[in-house]
Amino acid sequence: MCSLALVPADYTQMKINQMENKTMEGLQIVVCGTLVPDPLQTLEPVTTPTGPGLKNETMLPSVLDPWAAHSLYEAANLAKKVPGSKVYLVSLGPKAKLQQLMMTVAQKVPFELVAIDGTAGGFTDAMEVAKTLATAIEAIPGLDKTRLLVFGGCASASRDAGVTMQLIGEQLGITDQFVGVDEISMSDDGSFSVLERIEGGQYLASTCAGAPAVLAWATGSLPEPPNNPQVGMANMRFVMPALQKAQPAAVGVGGINFEKSEVPAQKRATRIVKDVSADVIAAEIVEWIKG
């Protein structure tokens, strides 16, 4: 509380309190992420009436899109550090598959799910996906853009375009955006610094005055959290209702005409070198390197 007659020292303290209040209010971290086929599956493209798809797409086991998963773990970690923060996971995918995915993902970190029922396939147009996600974010009750950080992967393992997060940001009117993020450090005044991956294994280091911002993550630095049944139980209270009220979204290939989609035959005639001494192999490798 501030006194009526402000002396400079009081004023400074008041400003500090205001800043602290800002972060004390906490962040709203909205993570955009959905399912992709488990990378160990063999993928075969097929033509469907709505454009290309994957053979047995609905049957393929799925995982949470890896870079989006990293951003979810980073979001939870950040929320823990900034009291009063909350994490939302906004997922566009077939309801039944999202439900399956949540059996594992919901045990990792605390979040509230916002589900949208539609395809999670890679051949959809990023503009349509971004519009759907931005609309869902805008509709989160109590959304406060002054506290909003939108997280997600820097690219999906399906479309792999690396454009969706920027398009979401544009639709939400957020002009501070970071792509390929490996680190965020928050200051008490709500400003933060970011490391983004750039060429040649280097980082671009920036600071931003504060939320709102979009951060499209690379791997970050956190390992995958172990399953925690208590976290799972708490999340599930929101997951089931969120899935029940998931609105259908008509997301498709948009204006893309796919002329061809194929898995190019890449089989090489591999020469196996066996029962040969390390000396001989080393000499051959050196010759090859120098050649």
Partner 1 sequence: MADILLVLHTGSDGSFSKGALESIATTVDLSSKLGGSFAVGVIGAGAGAAADTIAGCGAEKFYVVEDEAVAAPRYSSDVKAATALIQKAGAQIVLAPGSSRFARCMPGAAYRAGAQIDTHIVALAVEAGVLKAQRWYYRQRILTTLSRAARPWVLLIEGGIQPAWQGAAGVADAESVAVEFTDAELRTTIKGIESPATDAQTIRPDAALLFVAGAGWTKKQADGAYHIRDASNLIQGFLKKAGASLGSSKSLVDLQSDGQETLSFMSHMNQVGQTGTTPRHAKGLSTCCHGEEPHAVGWRFINERRAINMDANCGWAQGKADVVYIANAFEVIAKVNELLG
Ligand X SMILES: Cc1cc2nc3c(=O)[nH]c(=O)nc-3n(C[C@H](O)[C@H](O)[C@H](O)COP(=O)(O)OP(=O)(O)OC[C@H]3O[C@@H](n4cnc5c(N)ncnc54)[C@H](O)[C@@H]3O)c2cc1C
Backbone angles phi, psi at 202, to 5 degrees: -110, 170
**Site for ligand X (CB under 6 A): which residue of 66, 162, 225, 252?**
66
What stretch of H or E contains 178?
strand 177-186
Cβ proximity of 152 and 189 under 8 Å: no
In the bound state with ligand X, the residue whose beta carbon lies nearer, of 40 and 269, is: 40
Least distance in angstroms from the C-beta of 280 to partner 1: 9
What's the one-letter identity of residue 193?
Answer: S
In the bound state with ligand X, the residue whose beta carbon lies nearer, of 60 and 127, is: 60
What stretch of H or E contains 77?
helix 66-81
In the bound state with ligand X, the residue whose beta carbon lies nearer, of 66 and 225, is: 66
Least distance in angstroms from the C-beta of 32 to partner 1: 14
CA distance 68 to 220: 11
Q: Is residue 291 part of the contact set for ligand X (CB under 6 A)?
A: no
Q: Is residue 225 part of the contact set for ligand X (CB under 6 A)?
A: no
Q: Is residue 49 part of the contact set for ligand X (CB under 6 A)?
A: no
Tell me if residue 167 falls in helix, strand or coil: helix
195 binding partner (options partner 1, ligand X, none; Cβ < 5 to 8 Å by kind): partner 1
Least distance in angstroms from the C-beta of 199 to ligand X: 19
Least distance in angstroms from the C-beta of 5 to partner 1: 32
CA distance 30 to 151: 6
CA distance 70 to 274: 40
Q: How far is CA 173 from the centre of its chain?
A: 19
In the bound state with partner 1, the residue whose beta carbon lies nearer, of 27 and 242, is: 27
Q: Is residue 39 part of the contact set for ligand X (CB under 6 A)?
A: yes
Q: Is residue 142 part of the contact set for ligand X (CB under 6 A)?
A: no
Interface size with ligand X, residues (CB under 6 A): 4
**Site for ligand X (CB under 6 A): which residue of 14, 19, 60, 63?**
63
CA distance 67 to 73: 10
